[in-house]
Amino acid sequence: MLEILNESSNPELSRKLLAKVMNLANLYKDKYGRLPAIMEVCGSHTMALARTGIKKSLKDHVKLISGPGCPVCVTDQKSIDAMIQLAEGENRIICTFGDMIRVPGTKRSLMEAKTEGREIRVVYSPVDAVEIAKKHSDKEVVFLGIGFETTIPVLTVALKMADDEGITNFSMWLTTKLVEPIIRHLLESEVVKIDGFLLPGHVSIVLGKNSYQYLVDEYQMPGVISGFESVEMLSSIYKLLQLLLQEKAEIINDHRSIVTDKGNQVAQKLMETYLTLSDEAWRGIGIIKNSGLDLREEYAHLNAKKRFNMTVGEPRKTACRCGEIIRGIITPEECSLFNKACTPLHPIGPCMVSSEGTCAAHYQYMREE
């Protein structure tokens, strides 16, 4: 597995760091009689840890638990059903990010609806959807806006653009998620033992280091903000293990070149201007109070939920265990469908569809042949 670390921009340093992490993890195991349990909050870390071989290399030393930070994986079926229902109306164009198109809804996916002739387009940015609305003023253009704090500012840029330019045929179906409420939910529900958090560098650019202080003050929980290169992730895991061994609850910013204490205040202001806290449904978990952001009342004209006044039924129960996967309760191998009925070619749940999904990461990089 060490060969995989050759993909690193600095393979020699990666290997040295890996050995140091293993040594420290062994000290932890000697002291506490079990492996340290570290949750990587975001899907980008899940994929990067799997791709670089770090997860597999450390499996007997550190319990790296994949968390709930893959936006596609946590989006509830209802939102996908709503998009399909919207696409069935006359003169509509539905725009979405790439991964969402293959996620199964209650009866079918957006891809299947597209095959049936519905106008559903994959865009790289919500701003592209605003451009489509400008070109097709005779059609209603709806963007399915998912994401955590990394993506939400980009969504608000598109909302601002549509609002400033008075584009009346554009709206968003927002189903955004926030990092803090789901971390609190995990810690308070105690469904999984967590000793510390590997915190996402990109979300932290927006939120800032200080936004995690509640972990220390209220939960006595350490965390390290990390980048996504193998050297960066190993360095952060090492620092987290040091904190755990010293029994120190502290937040370390290990991504100092781009993460500041207060975060990106321009992005925060933009979010505050257009959005307000909302109760959000998390796939497999249910509604968590104030766990997302939706449009403020004064921007109701940009809110697809209000504009189209739709009611969407209850999601269908399936054997997919993504709800447990995103909370780190089980690993993909513990789902009976993994690598049998459920593969990237025939995904049953979003964790196998998403490029940041835990099941997809295990299938691609950690599967035993």
In the complex, least distance from residue 342 CB atom to ligand SF4, rounded to whole angstroms: 3
Question: Which ranges of the chain does DSSP label H, i.e. alpha helix?
Answer: 11-32, 43-51, 54-57, 71-74, 77-87, 110-115, 126-135, 152-164, 179-189, 201-207, 213-219, 230-246, 265-274, 304-308, 322-325, 350-353, 358-361
In the complex, least distance from residue 260 CB atom to ligand SF4, rounded to whole angstroms: 36
- Contacting ligand SF4 within 323-352 (CB under 6 A): 325, 332, 335, 337-338, 342, 348-349, 351-352
Residue nearest to ligand SF4 (CB): 349
Q: Site for ligand SF4 (CB under 6 A): how many residues?
A: 14
In the complex, least distance from residue 330 CB atom to ligand SF4, rounded to whole angstroms: 8
Helix axes 43-51, 230-246, angle to 10 degrees: 110
Whole-angstrom distance, CA of residue 181 vs CA of residue 133: 34
Q: DSSP letter string over 138-176?
A: TSEEEEEEEE-TTTHHHHHHHHHHHHHTT-TTEEEEEEE
Quick one: residue 208, left, alpha or beta (phi over 0 = left, psi -120 to 50 = alpha)?
left
Nearest to 169 by CA among 132, 139, 127, 126: 139
Whole-angstrom distance, CA of residue 211 vs CA of residue 203: 11
Q: Coil, helix or strand for 253?
A: strand
359 near ligand SF4, judged by CB under 6 A = yes
321 near ligand SF4, judged by CB under 6 A = yes
**Between 75 and 204, whose beta carbon lies closer to ligand SF4?**
75
65 near ligand SF4, judged by CB under 6 A = no
**Between 186 and 275, whose beta carbon lies closer to ligand SF4?**
186
**Between 41 and 70, whose beta carbon lies closer to ligand SF4?**
70
Both tokens of 307, joined, read 């504009």
Question: Which ranges of 230-286 does DSSP label H, i.e. alpha helix?
Answer: 230-246, 265-274
**Between 102 and 160, whose beta carbon lies closer to ligand SF4?**
102
74 near ligand SF4, judged by CB under 6 A = no
Phi/psi at 208 (5° precision) = 85, 155
In the complex, least distance from residue 323 CB atom to ligand SF4, rounded to whole angstroms: 8
Element (H, E) at 198: strand 196-200
**Between 260 and 331, whose beta carbon lies closer to ligand SF4?**
331
Both tokens of 296, joined, read 């403020």
| Residue recorded with tokens 């290997």 | 15
Q: Coil, helix or strand for 231?
A: helix
DSSP 309: T
Which range in 145-153, 160-168, 176-184, 318-326 contacts ligand SF4 by CB under 6 A? 318-326
**Between 135 and 340, whose beta carbon lies closer to ligand SF4?**
340
14 CB contacts (<8 Å, ≥6 apart)? Answer: 5, 8, 52, 230, 231, 234
**Between 298 and 333, whose beta carbon lies closer to ligand SF4?**
333
In the complex, least distance from residue 352 CB atom to ligand SF4, rounded to whole angstroms: 4
Which range in 163-171, 195-203, 290-298, 315-323 contacts ligand SF4 by CB under 6 A? 315-323
In the complex, least distance from residue 318 CB atom to ligand SF4, rounded to whole angstroms: 7
Whole-angstrom distance, CA of residue 303 vs CA of residue 291: 18
322 near ligand SF4, judged by CB under 6 A = yes
In the complex, least distance from residue 103 CB atom to ligand SF4, rounded to whole angstroms: 10
**Between 259 and 361, whose beta carbon lies closer to ligand SF4?**
361
**Between 131 and 356, whose beta carbon lies closer to ligand SF4?**
356
155 near ligand SF4, judged by CB under 6 A = no
In the complex, least distance from residue 33 CB atom to ligand SF4, rounded to whole angstroms: 30
**Between 80 and 320, whose beta carbon lies closer to ligand SF4?**
320
Residues that bind ligand SF4 (CB under 6 A): 320-322, 325, 332, 335, 337-338, 342, 348-349, 351-352, 359
